[in-house]
């Protein structure tokens, strides 16, 4: 919808996929309709790479007035489990997408697929091969050498039909026979060299039980399922590019009019300092390198959710990186930027002290408590204000005090003044130091009564403003700090080294004696906050009202930390 001479803005630029779709629609292909599908195999949890596909599949359909199906690609009963199905559905909904009543399974089509295979046999386009896997494999040749025909390639139709039927009745052992499509053993494309389309598997299927003994391969199920569902655009990742000729070959055998689905491939999502392979993520879980699929360090959607990421931030990130055919590796800092941007607008500010250091305000009356008022979110006035108790003893961050500060240290040090945010300006008059360890144990200050925020002399300038928590009112909390899971930008891409070699030993730091403001006692799992000056934090599932647990989603940008390096 470009108006007159408005310049083309970023948001209007389309990916190559969208251009293809737009052209197909304009050309009136498939009656000018768009229908997509998201086709996960239920063999693991969804990760942020899947989110990229989900956003495309559901996003394109929505944008162009079409529909998007959810289809579980469950053609291999030995790898798939029901537990994954529920988590996949939960994650898609969490992201904010809905397939309505269109929840399908490749296994819904086992009957149709079987009949289609039988039909191919009758047309002389498929045959049963009795050879073992290694022989079939070696006859396929190599990418640079053509294959050779199987001795069973010209088996009679009736024999093929009978054998295929008996394969499905369980008369033969797994691995003893397969059904192959008769395509072209000399094709430069390995996938066209008489691909196996059915194999015998006797383990029960999570949905069809032991109805079938014979199961279709991916290549024989995916395109056909698209066809059965009326899919117009079958969007998948780059590695399926070489499968496309086969996809088209089966559609050619299947189609009866001018409707046909079209496969388009785009680049996978890769992120720096993590891995995206389902197999490797499973290893991390099984080898207990992480605490589970939803460990906040994992790139899984449930992990990111637990870490405190919002669906909006993930969608925003996906939107920023785009869809191309270039195998790219995206910088996590862009993802982090996306959460900060979102959380900045949404989260209430609170005080939490991670490494407490007690400050005693010597001239503040003992036993006195004042309730100071603080703005919940300077970005959004509608979020209102809250009241926080202030008293003679408060905790500040250990990092906010230095005995001998460097230049430009705008915090507390002997003789220096700082503001305790929302309360008073205090001046450091002394401190107690453990002579053995050198640790600062207490800091002694005086406060200026006239400097209370909002008061007469409240506009007096000081260099620094600190967050704090009243000692007697503080709630003890556990805080889990996360760092990148790997110390290498591309841990899985190092040919000579196993990715495990690059695991970051300090990716998780658990802080036990943290002090947070009393309002946080009632925080519920998944609630998000900005701990002022520190970062964004999300309440963990392990949290209880007596002992809150917070996960740090991401730090605030910290220019001081950079200067300090």
Partner RNA sequence: UGUCCCGUGGUGUAAUUGGCAACACGUCUGAUUCUGGAUCAGAAGAGUUCAGGUUCGAGACCUGACGGGACAACCA
Site for RNA in 507-536 (CB under 7 A): 530, 532-533
Q: Which of these ranges, 107-115, 252-260, 446-454, 538-546, lies near RNA under the rule CB under 7 A? A: 446-454
Q: Does 409 sit near RNA (CB under 7 A)?
A: yes
Q: Does 63 sit near RNA (CB under 7 A)?
A: no
Nearer to RNA, 180 or 306 (CB): 180
Instruction: Check: CB of residue 400 under 8 Å from CB of residue 411.
Output: yes
Q: Does 379 sit near RNA (CB under 7 A)?
A: yes
Q: Please name the residue that has the structure tokens 């070959």.
A: 249
Q: Does 563 sit near RNA (CB under 7 A)?
A: yes
Site for RNA in 260-279 (CB under 7 A): 267
Q: Which two tokens stand for residue 553?
A: 């989603």
CA 317 to chain centre: 11
Give the CB-side neighbour count of residue 207, counting CA atoms within 13 A.
18
Shortest distance, position 212 Cβ to RNA, whole Å: 12
Q: Which of these ranges, 12-20, 302-310, 499-507, 511-519, lies near RNA under the rule CB under 7 A? A: 12-20
Shortest distance, position 428 Cβ to RNA, whole Å: 14
Q: Does 142 sit near RNA (CB under 7 A)?
A: yes
Of positions 4, 6, 8, 367, contacts RNA by CB under 7 A = 8
Nearer to RNA, 185 or 508 (CB): 185
Give the three-class secondary structure for 536. strand
Q: Which of 112, 166, 278, 500 is catalytic?
A: 278
Q: Does 556 sit near RNA (CB under 7 A)?
A: yes
Nearer to RNA, 429 or 448 (CB): 448
Q: Where are the alpha helices (DSSP H) in 244-375?
A: 244-254, 278-286, 301-307, 311-321, 332-346
Element (H, E) at 198: strand 196-200
Nearer to RNA, 144 or 437 (CB): 144
User: Contact letters (x/-) for RNA, 191-230, by CB under 7 A?
Assistant: x----x--xxx-------------x-xxx--x--------
Q: Which of 41, 90, 312, 393 is catalytic?
A: 41
Q: What is the DSSP string of 199-251?
A: EE--SPBTTTBTS-SEEE-HHHHHHHHHHHHT-SEEEEEGGGGGGHHHHHHHH
Nearer to RNA, 43 or 504 (CB): 43
User: Residue 117 carries which DSSP code?
Assistant: H
Shortest distance, position 327 Cβ to RNA, whole Å: 5
Q: How many residues bind RNA (CB under 7 A)?
A: 97
Q: Which of 153, 155, 202, 268 is catalytic?
A: 268
Shortest distance, position 485 Cβ to RNA, whole Å: 18
Element (H, E) at 394: strand 393-397
Of positions 32, 41, 440, 521, contacts RNA by CB under 7 A = 41
Instruction: Check: CB of residue 172 under 8 Å from CB of residue 164.
Output: no
* Number of separate helices (H) and strands (E) present in the chain: 13, 25
Q: Does 254 sit near RNA (CB under 7 A)?
A: no
What gap in Å lies between CA 388 and CA 533, rounded to an integer?
17
What gap in Å lies between CA 456 and CA 453, rounded to an integer?
9
Shortest distance, position 20 Cβ to RNA, whole Å: 9
Nearer to RNA, 73 or 295 (CB): 73
- Tell me how far apart the terminal alpha carbons of the chain are, to the nearest angstrom: 49
Of positions 52, 411, 515, 552, contacts RNA by CB under 7 A = 411
Q: Label residue 153 exposed, middle or buried (CB < 10 Å: 0-12, 13-18, 19+).
A: middle
Residue 268 known to be catalytic: yes
Q: What is the DSSP string of 414-472?
A: TT-EEEETTS-EEEEEEEEE-TTT--EEEEEEEE-GGG-TTSTTTT---S-EE--EETT
Residue 495 known to be catalytic: no
Q: Does 355 sit near RNA (CB under 7 A)?
A: no
Q: Label residue 20 exposed, middle or buried (CB < 10 Å: 0-12, 13-18, 19+).
A: middle
Sequence-distant (6+) residues with CB within 8 A of 420 are 390, 394, 396, 426, 465, 466, 468
Sequence-distant (6+) residues with CB within 8 A of 522 are 545
Q: Which residues are paired to 470 by β-bridges?
A: 394
Nearer to RNA, 377 or 504 (CB): 377
Q: Label residue 525 exposed, middle or buried (CB < 10 Å: 0-12, 13-18, 19+).
A: middle
Site for RNA in 465-504 (CB under 7 A): 465, 467
Q: Does 148 sit near RNA (CB under 7 A)?
A: no
Of positions 44, 422, 491, 548, contacts RNA by CB under 7 A = 422
Q: Which of these ranges, 87-95, 280-288, 498-506, 550-558, lies near RNA under the rule CB under 7 A? A: 550-558
Q: What is the 3-state secondary structure (H, E, C) of 32-47?
A: HCCEEEECCCCCCCCE
Q: Which of these ranges, 94-102, 304-312, 449-457, 519-527, lies near RNA under the rule CB under 7 A? A: 449-457
User: Contact letters (x/-) for RNA, 98-137, by CB under 7 A?
Assistant: ---------------------------------xxx--xx
Q: Does 82 sit near RNA (CB under 7 A)?
A: no
Q: Which of these ranges, 86-94, 184-192, 302-310, 500-508, lies near RNA under the rule CB under 7 A? A: 184-192
Of positions 464, 487, 492, 518, contacts RNA by CB under 7 A = 464
User: Contact letters (x/-) for RNA, 301-340, by CB under 7 A?
Assistant: -------------------xxxxxxxxxxxx-xx-xx--x
Nearer to RNA, 183 or 295 (CB): 183
Instruction: Provide the sign of the torsion angle of the four alpha carbons 204, 209, 212, 215, taken in this order.
Output: negative
Nearer to RNA, 127 or 409 (CB): 409
Q: Which two tokens stand for residue 366?
A: 């003992």
Instruction: Check: CB of residue 22 under 8 Å from CB of residue 53.
Output: no
Shortest distance, position 200 Cβ to RNA, whole Å: 6
Q: Does 562 sit near RNA (CB under 7 A)?
A: yes
* Closest alpha carbon to 335 in 525, 51, 59, 559: 51
Q: Which residues are tagged catalytic?
A: 41, 268, 278
């Amino acid at each position: 919808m470009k108006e007159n001479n408005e310049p083309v803005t970023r948001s209007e630029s389309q990916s190559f996929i969208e251009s293809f779709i737009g052209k197909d629609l304009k050309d009136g292909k498939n009656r000018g309709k768009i229908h997509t599908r998201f086709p996960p195999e239920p063999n693991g949890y969804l990760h942020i790479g899947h989110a990229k596909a989900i956003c495309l599949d559901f996003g394109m359909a929505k944008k162009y007035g079409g529909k998007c199906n959810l289809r579980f690609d469950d053609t291999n009963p030995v790898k798939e489990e029901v537990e994954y199905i529920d988590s996949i559905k939960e994650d898609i909904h969490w992201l904010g997408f809905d397939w309505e009543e269109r929840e399908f399974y490749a296994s819904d089509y086992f009957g149709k697929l079987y009949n289609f295979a039988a039909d191919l046999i009758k047309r002389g386009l498929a045959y049963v091969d009795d050879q073992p896997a290694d022989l079939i494999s070696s006859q396929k040749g190599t990418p640079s050498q053509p294959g050779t025909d199987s001795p069973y390639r010209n088996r009679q139709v009736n024999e093929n039909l009978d054998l295929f039927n008996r394969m499905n009745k369980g008369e033969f052992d797994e691995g003893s026979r397969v059904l192959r499509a008769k395509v072209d053993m000399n094709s430069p494309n390995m996938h066209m060299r008489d691909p196996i389309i059915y194999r015998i598997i006797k383990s029960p299927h999570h949905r069809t039980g032991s109805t079938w003994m014979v199961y279709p391969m991916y290549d024989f199920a995916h395109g056909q399922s698209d066809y059965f569902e009326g899919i117009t655009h079958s969007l998948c990742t780059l590695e399926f590019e070489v499968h496309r000729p086969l996809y088209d070959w089966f559609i050619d055998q299947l189609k009866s009019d001018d409707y046909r689905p079209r496969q388009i491939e785009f680049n996978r999502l890769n992120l720096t300092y993590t891995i995206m392979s389902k197999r490797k993520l499973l290893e991390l879980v099984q080898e207990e390198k992480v605490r589970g699929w939803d460990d906040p360090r994992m790139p899984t959607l449930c992990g990111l959710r637990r870490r405190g990421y919002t669906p909006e931030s993930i969608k925003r990130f996906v939107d920023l990186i785009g869809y191309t055919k270039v195998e790219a590796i995206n910088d996590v800092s862009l993802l982090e930027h996306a959460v900060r941007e979102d959380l900045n607008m949404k989260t209430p500010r609170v005080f939490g002290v991670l490494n407490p250091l007690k400050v005693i305000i010597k001239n503040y009356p003992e036993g006195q408590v004042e309730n100071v008022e603080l703005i919940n979110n300077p970005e959004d006035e509608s979020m209102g204000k809250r009241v926080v108790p202030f008293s003679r003893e408060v905790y500040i961050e250990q990092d906010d005090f230095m005995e001998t500060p460097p230049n430009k240290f705008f915090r507390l040090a002997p003789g220096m003044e700082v503001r305790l945010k929302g309360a008073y300006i205090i001046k450091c008059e002394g401190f107690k130091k453990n002579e053995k360890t050198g640790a600062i144990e207490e800091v002694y200050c005086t406060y200026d009564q006239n400097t209370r925020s909002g008061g007469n002399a409240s506009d007096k300038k000081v260099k620094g403003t600190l967050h704090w928590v009243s000692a007697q009112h503080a709630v003890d909390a556990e805080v889990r700090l996360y760092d990148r899971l790997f110390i290498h930008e591309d841990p899985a891409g190092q040919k000579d080294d196993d990715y495990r070699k690059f695991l970051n030993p300090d990716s998780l730091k658990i802080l036990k004696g943290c002090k947070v403001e009393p309002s946080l006692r009632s925080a519920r799992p998944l609630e998000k906050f900005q701990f002022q000056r520190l970062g964004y934090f999300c309440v963990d599932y392990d949290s209880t009202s007596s002992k809150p647990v917070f996960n740090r989603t991401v730090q605030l940008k910290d220019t001081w930390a950079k200067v300090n390096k």
